[in-house]
Amino acid sequence: MTPAKAPSAYRHIFSLVLPIVIQNLLSAAVSSADVVMLNYVGQSSISAVSLASQYASVLFMLYYGLGTGAAILCAQYYGKGDLQAIHVVEGIALRFSLLAALLFSGAALLIPEQMMLVFTNDSELIAIGTSYLRFMSVGYLCWGVSEVYLAILRSAGRVVVSTVLNVLAFSLNILVNAVFIFGLFGAPKMGAAGVAIATSFSRLTQLIGCFLVSSVSKKIRLDLRYLFVRNKVLFSDFLRVSLPAVGNDVSWGLAFSMYSVIIGHLETNAVAANSFVVVVRNFATVLCFGIANAGGILPGNIIGENKPEKARSTARDLMKLTVAAGVIGGLVVLASMPFVMKYASLSAQAMHYLKYMLLINSWYVMGTAVNTTLIAGVFRAGGDSRFGFVCDTIDMWCYAVPLGFFAAFVLKLPVMWVYFLLCTDEFVKWPWVIRHYRSGKWLNNITRDNLF
């Protein structure tokens, strides 16, 4: 790219990144509000919600994988100008997301105690988490539809619309959180269950907003009739591209949940400390994930226009930005430490864990930034979702998870040594990820002509 074009390229990137960063900031604010408000209810409520919400994390990875898989195709077909193909892909993704939503909602409604037993054997945490999961069942269902539609909107460059709907949902979540956690305005005081009520209500509102946006949209519609549209070629392409993306995100999400299983069976103080760390890390990585999201949209649109060299140049720009974002994220973690240590109402042991977990995360965010932008952004935009699936599955399930269990339950190392070892996962895969990026094998035009 010539120097004269660079400022324009960066403006285009930031026009996508900025709304996503705002959206991610509000998402982090919701998580922060949950922890801060539950901080006044008790440490057990914080720990129980932290563990129970691991199911939402896994479900998010599934929805995100489906949405990303659909967006891989939709971004390129949008660049190509084929809206009919986008509608078919949307219907395919919705079939899978609704199936997952029904399974998780049913489990949360019917067997929440068994779901909590996976993470802890503490009876108090199980009781609190059970109530939380039952109320979350509605939210899981609504989320399955809205997440796919919003991902497709983003793939078509309608990032602002997606952000507005998420801002609405997140703002309502925080407001309703306060109402039901503390029993404001005559509402019942429900503690941890109030968090689930707020989340489900906000997801329902967001879904209604999606249908309203769709009713005035001329291009990207949320139409459940697309569920029944068939196209064998696109279905085959969706499976080929999306299944590795879904497998990647679910594999990674399940493995990351195993970290909570390991920590949860070591000590409840570590669980409580990690709840605060997750909030800080979410704020520290908002810019990183904004760039990663842009990485999944912009190169894909350009590839669909059949401009591979321009797509490669855009990927280079995104890499430069994500390294800078990783450094900024680490500084955010360090800057937050005095405030978090001052206001967290935890036991002395939990505060000790919190301090060192934050220090570890000050460098961990750099690994997350680079890998997320390349694996979940740039590579997928180029139609290459298989590499990330293989890389993350080997890294998490053959290295990080076994190492964590071995360190915790065989070597019986101290909690912080176990946590430190778990946080090496992102850096172990760097050599393979960066080599694949430099090879250019990820850049593929996967659109087809004469589909209909």
Determine the average pLDDT of the residues in 321-350: 89
Tokens found for residue 187: 């509402």
Taken in order 327, 330, 331, 332, the sign of the CA dihedral is: positive
177-233 tens-digit pLDDT: 888 877 888 878 887 788 888 888 988 999 999 999 988 877 888 888 888 888 899
Q: Cα(351)–Cα(4) distance, rounded to whole angstroms?
A: 51
Residue 186, judged by CB atoms within 10 A of its CB (0-12, 13-18, 19+), counts as exposed
Alpha carbons 186 and 190: distance in angstroms, whole number: 12
pLDDT at 336: 92
Residue 8: the pLDDT is: 60
**pLDDT, average across residues 79-102:** 91
Distance from chain centroid for Cα 433: 20
Q: What is the pLDDT of residue 442?
A: 93
Q: What is the pLDDT of residue 235?
A: 92
The model carries a pTM of: 0.75
35-39, 218-222, 378-382: the lowest-pLDDT one? 35-39
Q: What is the mean pLDDT of residues 84-108?
A: 91
Task: Tell me if 247 sits within 8 A of 65, measured CB to CB.
Answer: yes
Confirm if 382 and 308 have CB atoms less than 8 A apart. no
The confidence band for 174, taking pLDDT boundaries of 50, 70 and 90, is confident
What DSSP letter does each residue of 68-90 carry, written as one string? HHHHHHHHHHHHHT-HHHHHHHH
pLDDT of res. 35: 64
Burial class (CB in 10 A: 0-12, 13-18, 19+), 363: middle
Q: What is the pLDDT of residue 95?
A: 93
Gap between the Cα atoms of 323 and 195, Å rounded: 35
- CA-CA-CA-CA torsion sign (331, 360, 246, 163): negative
Q: Look at 134 and 17; give whichever has higher pLDDT.
A: 134
What tokens does 110 get?
């019917």
CA separation for the pair 369, 365 (Å, rounded): 6
Q: Residues 6 or more apart from 264 whose CB is under 8 A from it?
A: 51, 119, 120, 271
pLDDT at residue number 28: 65
Phi and psi at 120, nearest 5°, equal -155, 155
- Contact predicate 239/73, CB 8 Å: no
The pLDDT mean for the chain works out to 86
If pLDDT is split at 50, 70 and 90, which confidence band does 9 have? low
Q: Is residue 38 predicted with pLDDT exceeding 60?
A: yes
Q: If residue 289 lies in a helix (H) or strand (E), which one and from where to where?
A: helix 286-304
What's the pLDDT tens digit per position in 42-63? 777 877 887 888 788 778 878 8
Cβ atoms within 10 Å of 96's Cβ, excluding its own: 22
pLDDT of residue 99: 92
Q: Could you give the percent of the chain with pLDDT greater than 90? A: 29
Q: Which residue has the tokens 């990026």?
A: 437
